[in-house]
Structure 1
Amino acid sequence: MPTPSFYPTGAPIWIDLTSHDTAASTAFYEGLFGWTSSDGGSEFGGYVTFSLDDRRVAGMIGGASEGVPDSWTVYLQTDDAETTGQAVTGAGGLVFMGPQQVGPMGTMLLAQDADRAVVGAWNPAQMTGFQALAEPGAPAWFELHTTSFDDEVQFYQQAFGWTTVSMPGGADFRYSQLTHEGEMYAGVMDASGYWTPGDPAAWLVYFNVADADAAAARAVELGGAIVDEPVDTPFGRMSTLRDTTGALLKIIA
């Protein structure tokens, strides 16, 4: 797939992993997806960039808070982090870091959305986001799971300027997608049927693999765990995993 060159406002542009054991996480993802890693050094707080065939696909930062599980954070594109921060607050969210300029790379902020999911915003400069998507070893899809579906769709429309389209389904399936000029970039899933009411929302990242069964087995070999066994869906064969330090991820072939 060609290197992505355009991210509409509000589209996922980057992901990073917060890990309490960066060495273990590095070994897991290098072993599972064939990534290589580079450390940005003290200037960038030891931030690690993961690459697939010399194309950046994800980042990682150490120092997860005690009692807070390791997790992936999704960053959405913005042209103005200050304005986005104000919009997040106005839509019922909470900004807890930034806007903060990251040297010549760009400007970031971290926030909680209206249903308490952590979400980031990135205004790119030199670091323009993913260089590979939707191919084996690269991120493929980004999905918010929530028991407050209507409120969350409204939040992302208001805070990040999303235009959304609902997928058809029965009463037990509600799903809305961020769209731009006919392309789909992310989704919101009504998790009421399988999450405890009141649990906070969470973003989950899907990674493309050539063989979901082989990748799930490999994750276990590397110290991870299978949460949901591989299953066929209309979109591909997928599975939910935990990595070696406990962060959730999904794979899809």
Structure 2
Amino acid sequence: MSVAAAGVPAWVDLGTSDLPGAIRFYGELFGWSAQPPDDPDAEGYTLFSKDDKLVAGAGSVSTGGQPPTWTTYIGTLDAQASAKLVESAGGTVLMPPFDVLDRGRAAVFTDPAGASFAVWQPLSMAGAELANVPGSLCWNELTTRDPEGAKEFYGTVFDWETRDTPFPPIMYTEWLVEQQPVAGMMPMVGDDWPADLPAHWMVYFAVNDCDATAEHAAALGGTVSVPPTDLPHGRFAVLNDPQGAFFSVIRIAGD
């Protein structure tokens, strides 16, 4: 399924308090090349590429007190219509639809549990050009304390269906478009989730070696929040970059 399809995560970008530092960190960690903007209206927004294909973006945090974070953008045919659906389903419009130069239209929301996400209506830029290979996005996952409410909300906004799989002690959910998994959902159950940790969307980048990537991230000034751990689908770790933005890496089983 194309990453630019409606209802499918199409793009991720980083809002950071230190754009030059983030460019250095992710360039070293994933082998990304940075493409500085050639348009002053882009306000420094930088595109990352891998093997000459777009994989992600990064820009400076624009509002005071906003923590550095990765944002998931889900493809849409109409950002304005998506905003109306978000509001009707009980979500909040943080940034109403706006033009991103000639590349597309975006909007930023929170779901009823407070998890922030965005939509991308493509124009000249469809979204990521590389996915599911080392050094690129391979999965997006909602982590929430209200999985049943999330099913209703995202089903309304994106027409997502769900498939639940027992993963003791929780039930893991896959979001489906045309019966194909496009993202996941992890309920925040148990003592592993700090009470002050809000609902959020996690981004996963594929790597060749989870342990080596975690070590490399720490050597570059990042931190390892969840050490390399085996899952049925691969070995993963949760990392924080030097500015505090969290993300996950995974070596997919069989790769």
Q: In the alignment, is residue 33 of structure 1 matched against residue 30 of structure 2?
A: yes
Per-residue deviation, 1:180: 2.4
8 A contact 1:110–1:120 mirrored in 2: yes
Q: In the alignment, is residue 102 of structure 1 matched against residue 100 of structure 2?
A: yes
Per-residue deviation, 1:163: 1.6
Give runs of aligned pairs for residues 38-49 of structure 1, distance below 5 A: 38-40=35-37, 41-49=39-47
Q: In the alignment, is residue 238 of structure 1 matched against residue 207 of structure 2?
A: no
Q: Runs ≥4 in structure 1, deviation > 6 angstroms?
A: none
Structure-1 residue corresponding to 2:161: 163
8 A contact 2:3–2:127 mirrored in 1: no
Please give the alpha-carbon distance, in whole angstroms, between the structure 2 residues aligned to 1:140 and 1:10. Answer: 16
Per-residue deviation, 1:121: 0.5
Give runs of aligned pairs for residues 65-144 of structure 1, distance below 5 A: 65-144=63-142
- Which residue of 174, 186, 190 maps to 1:189? 186
TM-score using structure 1 length: 0.94
Please give the alpha-carbon distance, in whole angstroms, between the structure 2 residues aligned to 1:11 and 1:185. Answer: 6
8 A contact 2:141–2:203 mirrored in 1: yes
Per-residue deviation, 1:114: 1.0
- Deviation track 1:17-75 (CA, whole Å, cap 9, x = no partner) reads 00010011010000000000112241212111000011000001103533332100000
Please give the alpha-carbon distance, in whole angstroms, between the structure 1 residues aligned to 2:129 and 2:151. Answer: 28
Letter in 1 for 2:41: E
Per-residue deviation, 1:7: 3.6
TM-score using structure 2 length: 0.93
**Which deviates the most, 243-252 or 36-45?**
36-45
Give the secondary-structure state (helix, strand or coil) at the position aligned to 1:168: strand
Per-residue deviation, 1:169: 3.8
Structure-1 residue corresponding to 2:6: 9
Give the secondary-structure state (helix, strand or coil) at the position aligned to 1:136: coil
Please give the alpha-carbon distance, in whole angstroms, between the structure 1 residues aligned to 2:147 and 2:179. Answer: 22
Between the two proteins, the alignment pairs up a number of residues equal to 249
Change (3 A) 1:143 1:6: closer
Structure-2 residue corresponding to 1:149: 147
Per-residue deviation, 1:199: 4.5
Letter in 1 for 2:129: Q
Please give the alpha-carbon distance, in whole angstroms, between the structure 1 residues aligned to 2:102 and 2:62. Answer: 25
Please give the alpha-carbon distance, in whole angstroms, between the structure 1 residues aligned to 2:40 and 2:187. Answer: 41
8 A contact 2:7–2:177 mirrored in 1: no
8 A contact 2:3–2:10 mirrored in 1: no
Show structure 2 runs of 5+ residues with no match: none
- Which residue of 206, 212, 215 maps to 1:217? 215
Please give the alpha-carbon distance, in whole angstroms, between the structure 2 residues aligned to 1:197 and 1:213. Answer: 28
**Which deviates the most, 36-45 or 79-88?**
36-45
Letter in 1 for 2:12: I
8 A contact 1:89–1:95 mirrored in 2: yes
Per-residue deviation, 1:139: 0.7
Per-residue deviation, 1:200: 2.6
**Which deviates the most, 212-221 or 160-169?**
160-169
Give the secondary-structure state (helix, strand or coil) at the position aligned to 2:152: helix
Taking every aligned residue pair, what percent have the same amino acid on both sides? 36
Give the secondary-structure state (helix, strand or coil) at the position aligned to 1:73: strand
Please give the alpha-carbon distance, in whole angstroms, between the structure 2 residues aligned to 1:239 and 1:215. Answer: 9
